[in-house]
Amino acid sequence: AQRVTQPEKLLSVFKGAPVELKCNYSYSGSPELFWYVQYSRQRLQLLLRHISRESIKGFTADLNKGETSFHLKKPFAQEEDSAMYYCALQWASGSRLTFGEGTQLTVNP
């Protein structure tokens, strides 16, 4: 069965520091992975997906099939990055998603 694990519920960094939000997955098929973000009082929205290989708002994520990981990274965190981040795995045919439990990122001034 598919599973997504985000080991850190809370992560706190200072502005300008690097940040890494961890995500591990288990899935026997070919995975498609996403990071979703929810800013305070806003709806859940897509941040990035691994197939696009884009950098969004300075964030990048590399799919490591050997380690079954899809960690989200940003070299210099900003206060506006404070939000809840969810890693998600798309499985089977169709766009159904399995989410991790989320990591609340706080960037302190």
Site residues, other proteins (CB under 8 A): 4, 6, 32, 43-46, 49, 86, 88, 90, 92-102
Closest approach of Cβ 68 to other proteins, in Å? 18
Residue 51 φ then ψ, to 5°: -70, -20
Closest approach of Cβ 11 to other proteins, in Å? 15
Closest approach of Cβ 39 to other proteins, in Å? 13
Q: Which is nearer to other proteins, 26 or 78 (CB)?
A: 26
Q: Which is nearer to other proteins, 4 or 107 (CB)?
A: 4
Six token digits for residue 45: 């929205």
CA distance 103 to 21: 7
Q: Which is nearer to other proteins, 17 or 51 (CB)?
A: 51
Six token digits for residue 77: 């965190």
Q: Which is nearer to other proteins, 36 or 74 (CB)?
A: 36
* CB burial readout 55-86, b (16+ within 10 A) else e: eeeebebebeeeebbbbbebeebeeebbbebb
